Structure 1
Amino acid sequence: MTSRIALVTGASAGIGASCAAALSAAGHRVALMARGESALQTVAATLPGQTLVVPGDVTSRDSVEATFAQVEQHWGPVEVLVHCAGSGASKPLVDTSDDQWQQMLDLNLTAPFRCLRRALPGMTSAGFGRIVVVASVVAKRGESRVAAYTASKHGALGLVRAAAAEVARTGVTVNAVCPGYVDTPMTESTISAIASRKDISHEQARELLGCRQPIGRLVTPDEVADAVMLCVGSGAITGQGINVDGGAVQS
């Protein structure tokens, strides 16, 4: 595949770091965005290809603009955008505050919207682009105690599908990858919460969470990156929400 200019948000750990590694191994130049510069530098040091560390906050409109501008200044327009930045919060719906609700929307829905809005003009002008948003399996189903997170991820999938329909004839594809429970630092916090709530050990909570998926284990970040790279490599996959959830949601 032709070497492209890629930007990965949320690249400092977990799925984002695995996607950056997969893109770099495939020969692409990879710009890494997250809030922590030190963690980004650590990831960059492990990649085989050209990298650009661009610390920034995806929830800040100015920071998103500055990140894209910096990539353009160094290499040129972003051709592959992999948006991995995101987070979850667990609370019963009736205990979810307005601030917690807004935080989930800002990070999981407004941030990808702004990144897509910034990336698409350059891609459509060039006649090539690949956008992949890492959503969640709860973009396709409801789940208790995560109403704000679930709503934001449903919105992200809708955003992807609307964008894909708009640019379908331009050479740009827009997809979502929808992981289940993945072995990442974010999931570790979920495991800790389960252990505390059920008064069981951390390892028992991890096993319990893994058993919620038909494969009986947590998905690995590299397995999510495999699905992302499938979307990056194909011009015929667009408007999709590809599940990487061990068979939990068959759609």
Structure 2
Amino acid sequence: MTDTLDGKHALVTGGGSGIGRAVALALAGEGAIVTVTGRRAEALEETCAAGPCIHAQVMDVTDEDSVVAATAAAVAARGPVDIHVANAGRAEGNALHKTDLAFWRRLMATNLDGAFLTIRESLRSMRGRSWGRVIAVSSMAGIRGLRGASAYTASKHGMLGLVRGLSEDYLGTGLTFNALCPGYVDTPIVTRNVETIAARTGMSPTEAAAVMTDSNRHGRLVAPGEVAAAALWLCGPGSGSVNGQAIEIAGGQV
């Protein structure tokens, strides 16, 4: 693609690292003006320094006031949101009988409530326009149950329900709503999970890493750029009939 997104304003939550950073760089590389949000200004500035036309906006997706104010500030500075990527999330596992309400609510507040709040606020400036893209970064856990992570699985299934409901609400308007469902991606989250699995099970770090790589059907971690490429496709020419979909990026059938 060449300048297919020239001048369009993209807002990417959780843009300080991993998938969010890769998506932000990919969108900016195609001409978009990108706002990256997250809680840590330093991480956001690193993303901004890595690509053109990327701007930092501190936002806590679990805090409604923060989401409302940060989105309004981004719109005031860079215009209506054309592309919203709801990427901010937590990946934590726990057996349900060991899960307290605080753990459950922490996951839901980031993964599901955060998607709801940030999409809602971006829609305030996107509605009524002839073109718009909303992309939620779910997970293979949004497609099937993930062992030892029932709360996480529920949060990611909820994101798919949100996207599918919105796709019906806005049929024929030029706005589309889709979800990306990657397997294990080579990000800092996976690095932390290796440490957690090793500590919990007594596995070596190599054995713990294999638990995740072997879960991807092609036997390797997904590169963040592969997820970003799927996001670009959903924003590119000919994507208008792709709506309400959960797109698997896991090396094979999930």
Band the TM-score falls in, shorter-chain normalisation? over 0.9
Residue 55 of structure 2, aligned match among 40, 52, 55: 52
Where does 1:156-235 land on structure 2 (aligned, <5 Å)? 156-233=159-236, 234-235=239-240
- Distance in 1 of aligned mates of 2:211 and 2:111: 26
- For 2:15 and 2:5, the matched residues in 1 are separated by 22
AA of the residue aligned to 2:47:
V
Amino acid at match of 2:180: V
Map of 1:61 onto structure 2: 64
Aligned to 1:138: 141
Do 2:164 and 2:245's aligned partners in 1 also have CA atoms closer than 8 Å? Answer: yes
Alignment correspondent of 2:100: 97
- Asked if 1:70 corresponds to 2:83, the answer is no
Distance in 2, Cα, partners of 1:78 & 1:200? 45
The corresponding residue for 1:8 is 12
Superposition CA RMSD, Å: 1.2
| Residue 32 of structure 2 corresponds to residue 33 of structure 1 | no
Residue 115 of structure 2 aligns to a residue whose secondary structure is helix
Q: Which runs of 5+ in 1 are unaligned?
A: none
Partner of residue 18 from structure 1, selected from 6, 15, 22: 22
Q: CA deviation at 1:244?
A: 0.6
* Aligned residue in 1 for 2:244: 239
Task: Name the SS of the counterpart of 1:53 in structure 2.
Answer: strand
Counterpart position of 2:158:
155
Shift in Å at residue 208 of structure 1?
Answer: 3.2
- The alignment-based identity, stated in percent, is 38
Q: Deviations over 1:24-76 (max 9, x none)?
A: 111100001000001110110010x2122101101111111111111111111
Q: 2:9 touches 2:80 (CA, 8 Å); kept in 1?
A: yes
Q: TM-score, normalised by structure 1?
A: 0.95
**Partner deviation per Cα, 1:165-212 (whole Å, 9 max, x = no partner):** 101111100110001111111111211122223323212321332012
State how far apart, in whole Å, the 2-side matches of 1:222 and 1:117 are. 27
Q: How far apart are 1:248 and its partner, in Å?
A: 4.3
CA distance in 2, matches of 1:119, 1:128: 13
TM-score w.r.t. structure 2 length? Answer: 0.94
Structure 2: which 5+ residue stretches go unaligned?
none
Equivalent residue letter for 2:14: G
Alignment length, in residue pairs? 248
Indicate if the aligned counterparts of 1:85 and 1:107 stay in contact, CA closer than 8 A. Answer: yes
Per-residue CA shift, 1:210-249, capped at 9, x if unaligned? 0122201111111111111111122121100100111141
